[in-house]
Amino acid sequence: MNFEQKPYRQQNGQPQQPQQGQLPSEGTDAAAIIAARSAAVARNRQKSERAALLRDVLRIVGVIVLVAGVGFVAHIKHQQTLEVERQQALREEAERVARAKERAEREARMDAARKERMAALKAAEAEKLKRREEERRAREAKIEALRVQKENIKRFHVAQERFRGASLGMLSSAPASDLPAKVQNETWFSCLVPGGRMGVELYEICAQPGKELQVSRLDADGNLDKVKVEDFNGIASKVSFLLTKGSRCYYSPRDKGRWEMRRPVPAEGETLDPTYEDFGDLIDVIRKRGIATASFGYDVYFRDIGGFESRILFVPFGGKLTRFAIHNALQSTLVSQGARSSGEAAVRARLNEGNIVIRRRKGNMR
């Protein structure tokens, strides 16, 4: 079968290749057929190459995408790992800071406790030293107090002894040199005043020319109190007291003026004690201290109803008056005066009607 090979048509001045599958026209030579086949093969190869290239590109793209995906995933995981590590680092840092803070707080507490212990030890040591010092001072004060007490007791007995054996007289009759305010040299006086828990209080007076009196109150227990002069003068102005200087003891009664007492004649069985009426509790003090009272006493007067007084007898210090003694004294006085009514009945009548007047004897002591 003869095929007529037609020449390729030219389009736009180019020869037109026969379509695939189209048999060359008869008359086409073998070269054209070979060329066509070669062209077809080349086209097929090109297509195959393009397809292979496309597949390769797709593979490469797939690999790239895969690698990118893997890389992205790896990046994400890496970021996650970094974030985990960062969070872990933050937690570890927070834990480290917390541990450091706890350690610092613990060390601060330990330091504070140590300081507190040291302060407590120092305070305890200071308190111990303070107690020791207080105990030492207390011992010294006690020793000093005992020493002062012994001295005061000795001083008390010395002041007491000034009264022993002294002669009793009236302060109003004392010479100026025996008065505390008139001394010419330093002079020590002792003074006994009723009162206190022992019934009498002892004062010691130091008198110096031109200086204020120094007055102290003493007792047998060794107590000594300084007394202001004005306070002592206030006491002495209200009570009776005994003041001694050297061998002389002076009595100052509560009533600083003339002392006398008026009483009815005692009844039978009664007694009258002029000394106690005058001295009160000081009489016991005088007796206990052995003060000499021989020249001290009282004149007793009988006062008739008309006012006439007769001295009938003398009562020594501590002596007692009875109706019997007054009766005898009055009768003797009346007899010595030559009175007409000196009989027993007349004397009793006069005793019942009259009174007795007792006066402290003047100028009885020097």
What pLDDT is stored for residue 342 in this prediction?
Answer: 62
More confident residue, 199 or 341: 199
Sheet holding 200-207, edge to edge: 167-170, 248-252, 241-245, 187-194, 200-207, 214-218, 224-227
List, for residues 38-70, the tens digit of each pLDDT value: 777 778 777 777 777 777 777 777 777 777 777
Query: What distance in Å separates the CA atoms of residue 175 and residue 161, rounded to the nearest whole number?
Result: 22
Q: Going by C-beta distance under 8 Å and a sequence separation of 6 or more, which residues neighbour residue 73?
A: none
More confident residue, 69 or 200: 200
List, for residues 114-163, the tens digit of each pLDDT value: 888 888 888 999 999 999 999 999 999 999 999 999 999 999 999 999 99
Burial code (b: 16+ CB inside 10 Å, e: under 16) for 304-343 equals: eeeeeebebbebebbbebbbebbbebbbebbeeeeeeebe
List, for residues 28-41, the tens digit of each pLDDT value: 577 787 777 777 77
What pLDDT is stored for residue 1 in this prediction?
Answer: 46
Q: What is the pTM of this model?
A: 0.62
Query: What distance in Å separates the CA atoms of residue 308 and residue 301, rounded to the nearest whole number?
Result: 10
- Of 197, 196, 178, 331, nearest in space to 244 by CA: 178
Mean per-residue pLDDT, 244-252: 91
Tell me which amino acid residue 305 is.
I
More confident residue, 266 or 259: 266
Q: Mean pLDDT lowest for which of 6-15, 17-26, 290-299, 319-328?
A: 6-15
Domain layout of the chain by residue ranges:
43-136, 167-252, 260-360
Mean per-residue pLDDT, 313-337: 89
CA angle 196, 285, 301 (to 5 degrees): 115
pLDDT at 2 over 70: no
